[in-house]
Structures are given as structure tokens and as C-alpha cells.
Amino acid sequence: MEKLNFKLIEKALPFIFDNIEHNLSIMDKDLNVLWSNKAYIERMGMNADDILGKKCYALWHKRTIPCEGCPCVKALKTGNIETGEKISDEGRHYVLTGIPFKENEEIKAVFEIGKEITEKKIVDEKFKEVIKLEAAYEIIDNLAHQFNNIFNGIYGFAQLIKERTENKDTLIFIEKLIESVEKGSKFIKALLELKTSPSAMKVFDLNFLLISMKEMLKDIAGEKIKLEFSLSKENLLIKGDPLQLKEVLSELLQNAKNAILDNGVILISTEKIKRESEEKILLTISDTGHGMDEETMKKCFEPLFTHDPRKFGLGLSIVKNIVQKHNSVIEIKSSPNAGTTVKIFFPSTTLQQELDT
């Protein structure tokens, strides 16, 4: 086995650090900058000579004292690796990590890693907006359905009364009633037209979306539940809005977690299949939870249906709404004490098909 050339590695480190996009710096115990990489210098908009020897909190925040909750200050005190989140004055979001340097058990300096997460924060906020809109649309759908039933009943009986009465004054009132019902129906129709289709449709690989969400999905599942993945090795290209599909995955995983009382397993799998002679991308989420009885199965997609008084019961109805907007189909199989399996069938697509449309 070939031995490592540590001198070569030592020479290469400055080049490696300068090609890392995160802000890297080394500071002494008083938070004076002793060294910084290229990304750090460029984000400061200064020369390296103007940075060295300066206090980091003076450079970044124009402060005269260290920032509250600074992970580097904590690392210098505790001797442990510390992490925290910071927002710069211009609204940039960073995750900061302080790593203490020790010599003969005495802390001499701290190495700081500044990872910018501004874009992720923006995406998260847009994600929340999407979900709020979907919830509003689902409520609109439900209300529109209920009011349409009411209007249809009034309209039908008003027409019957109109046909069976000859009193002119009564006919005038009935005509007004019918006119009001027609206006109400038009209003409901206009309300439904406010709904929009997925806003950021693009072609992407479903597996890549799942891989990018692995850590988030693990956080949702928690420590007691074993989260397993079985992803197809094929290219699973679908056309959709990644933000909305992230909501679908998050909601389904949360439901699976809630169904497991203690320890259990959630399996997420993907594959390419033939369904009714058409090529589909199948996403399956199965759990070993308590399952659902037949009555719950029939109502689980209904808006406002829930067994939990702390919730609004919009989760699965929103999921179904999003899935349908993606020209896809969702199916659920479940029985008491036998777990639940959710399957979503997406139309398979290709990049060429996207270019041709």
C-alpha cells in the first residue's frame, strides 16, 4: 500500500481550501483573523491584507464586541465543536461551525466554517407558501362542492314551483330566486378558477428528489423508526413541481410515522412499471403501523376528516389534489394491524418529450 506524502498534502491544502465555496477562516482566542480562504475574502469584497489581524465581528457585522451566541466563542470556551445559525446585516443566512485548535490541551485558536444557506431559506419559505395555497385551494374545493349541492337543490325546487304556479306575483319572486341561485353558481365557478396548476413544472429524476430529501425525511421519521430506501437504478424522469412533490412526500412520511406507535419500519421505493400499457414511475411508501379500517379508508382523502382534534384534516386531501394536478394516481391499501401502503403512479417522461412540447 502506497504511503501518503504528507508534505505534498500540506502544499495542496491552500489550493483545496481556496476551491471550497464556504467561508473558511482561522482566528486566535481574541477572534482576530489569522487566515482566510478565497471565498471568505471575496464575500468580504476586500483584499487579504485588509482582513488579516481584524476582528471577525468587526469585519462582518461592524460590531465592537463578539456576536451573541457565536459558535466560535462557544468553541473557544468549551473546547468542543459548536454550530449555530447567523443572519448577516444584508439578510444572508449562514450556518457557522467553530472547531477549536488545541496545543498541549490548551485552546490556541478556532477554525470557522461559514456555510451560506440563503437560497435554501428562500426555497423553504416558498415551499411554505405553496402548502398554504394548497390548503386554501382544498378548502375552496370543499366549500364549492357543498354550496353547489345547496344551489342545485334550491334551483331544482324553484323550477318545479315555477312550473306549478300561475300567480304572477309569485312567479316574479321565483324568477328572482332562480336568478340569485344562478349568480351564486357563477361566483363559485369563478372562485374555482382562481386555482392554479403546478407553478414550477420541470422534468427531473424522482430518485434525485428523494436523495436530496433523505436527511429531512430521516428527521421526520425520528430515531425509533427505521427508514429504508429501495430506489430503482433506472432513470425515473417525471414532469412536476419539486416543491409540491416534496410536500407530498413529507405528508405521507409524517402519516406513516404517526401510524407507528413505537419502533417500526418505513420503506420508500421507486420503480418503472407498465400500467394499462403505459409506462409509469411508481413511488411506494409502506409502513408497519397500525393501519386503517375500511371506514377510515373511505374517508381518508376527504377534506377536514381527521381523528386528531389538533389537526384540520387537510393533509391527505392536499396530497391527492397535488397528485391529480400532476396527472398522476394515488392508491392506498391498508388494514388494521397490518400497516399501510401508499402508491403513486406518475406518467413517465423523457427530456426529448419535454423539448418537443
Number of Cβ within a 10 Å radius of residue 137: 19
The answer to whether residue 109 scores a pLDDT higher than 90 is yes
| Predicted local distance difference test score (pLDDT) of residue 215 | 83
Which CATH number applies to 202-356: 3.30.565.10, 3.10.129.10, 3.30.420.40, 3.90.660.10?
Answer: 3.30.565.10
Across the chain, mean pLDDT equals 81
Lowest mean per-residue pLDDT among 36-45, 100-109, 256-265: 36-45
Q: Per-residue pLDDT tens for 272-309?
A: 999 988 999 999 999 999 888 888 888 777 765 555 54
For 17, residues 6+ apart whose C-beta sits below 8 A from its C-beta are: 24, 37, 38
Q: How far is CA 237 from CA 11, 97, 201, in A?
A: 43, 37, 13
| The three three-digit cell numbers of residue 346, written as one number | 406518475
Distance, in Å, from the CA atom of 126 to the CA atom of 2, rounded to the nearest integer, reads 50
Which residue reads 416558498 in cell numbers? Answer: 126
Which CATH number describes the domain made up of 6-116?
3.30.450.20
Q: What is the rounded radius of gyration, in angstroms, for the C-alpha atoms of the chain?
A: 29
Percent of the chain at pLDDT exceeding 90:
29
Q: Angle of helix 214-221 relative to helix 242-259, nearest 10 degrees?
A: 30
What's the rounded Cα separation, in Å, for the pair 6 and 3? 9
Looking at residue 315, its pLDDT comes to 65
Where exactly are the structural domains of the chain? 6-116, 122-192, 202-356
State the amino acid at position 263 in one-letter form. Answer: N
Position 133 scores a pLDDT of 61
- Angle, helices 118-164 vs 168-192, to 10°: value is 160
Give pLDDT, residue 234: 85
Mean pLDDT of 51-55: 92
pLDDT at 209: 87
State the Cα–Cα distance between residues 37 and 52, nearest whole angstrom.
Answer: 11
Point out the least confidently predicted range of 16-20, 122-126, 317-321, 331-335. Answer: 122-126
How much is the average pLDDT of 252-266?
A: 89
The pLDDT of 102-127, averaged and rounded, is 79
pLDDT of 122 > 80? The answer is: no
For residue 214, which of 253, 175, 271 has the smallest C-alpha distance? 253
* Rounded mean pLDDT, 182-209: 71
Q: Which comes out higher in pLDDT, residue 285 or 244?
A: 285
The residues with which 280 forms a beta bridge, in sequence order, are: 273, 347
Which pLDDT score, from 0 to 100, does residue 310 have?
A: 39
What confidence category does residue 313 fall into, taking pLDDT thresholds of 50, 70 and 90? Answer: very low
- Pairwise CA distance, residues 269 & 144, whole Å: 36
Copy the grid coordinates of residue 296: 377510515
Q: In the prediction, which pLDDT does 183 show?
A: 77
312, pLDDT greater than 50: no
Q: Which amino acid is at 171?
A: L
Is the Cβ–Cβ distance between 75 and 81 less than 8 Å?
Answer: yes
pLDDT tens figures, 131-156: 666 666 666 676 777 777 788 888 88
What per-residue confidence (pLDDT) applies to 131? 61
- Residue 15: which pLDDT band, with cuts at 50, 70 and 90? confident
Task: Give the model's pLDDT for residue 345.
Answer: 97
| Range ranked top by mean pLDDT from 119-128, 177-186, 254-263 | 254-263
- Return the higher-pLDDT residue of 156 and 89: 156
Q: What's the pLDDT at 340?
A: 92
Poorest-pLDDT segment among 32-46, 84-98, 204-218: 84-98
Q: Is the confidence at residue 259, as pLDDT, over 70? A: yes
Among 41-45, 283-287, 311-315, the minimum mean pLDDT is found in: 311-315
Q: Is the pLDDT of residue 319 over 80?
A: yes
- Contact partners, residue 161, CB within 8 Å, separation at least 6: 170, 174
270 or 161: which leads in pLDDT: 270
For residue 286, the SS3 value is: strand
Cα distances (angstroms) measured from residue 191 to each of 7, 149, 150, 197, 210:
70, 16, 16, 14, 34
